[in-house]
Amino acid sequence: MKKINYMPTVEYRGKIYKLKSRKTAIPNLDLMDDISAALWLLRNTVAKGYSKVQNPLAGMADVLNINGK
């Protein structure tokens, strides 16, 4: 069985962010001003809740009748 290695996480103001790299040194975000902390998070973490966009029309074939019957 293959072992899954999850990326390290950082918690800032009650939200959890996943790092892009295991080599990233994590600063003390609480000592940084808000803008500096936000920039560090943008540069070094993965966007929260990223997922592939689903087709909004998927499954509509059952609802729509193209032939008019």
Q: What is the pLDDT of residue 7?
A: 86
Q: What is the pLDDT of residue 25?
A: 94
Which residues contact residue 12 at a Cβ distance below 8 angstroms, ignoring those fewer than 6 apart?
29, 30, 37, 41
Give the dihedral sign, CA 34/37/41/42: positive
pLDDT in tens, 38-69: 999 999 998 765 555 666 766 666 655 666 65
Query: What's the pLDDT band for 23 if we cut at 50, 70, 90?
Result: very high
E strand or H helix that includes residue 16: strand 15-18
- Rounded percentage of the chain residues whose pLDDT exceeds 90: 43
The angle formed by the CA atoms of residues 38, 23 and 10, to the nearest 5 degrees, is 40
Report pTM. 0.62
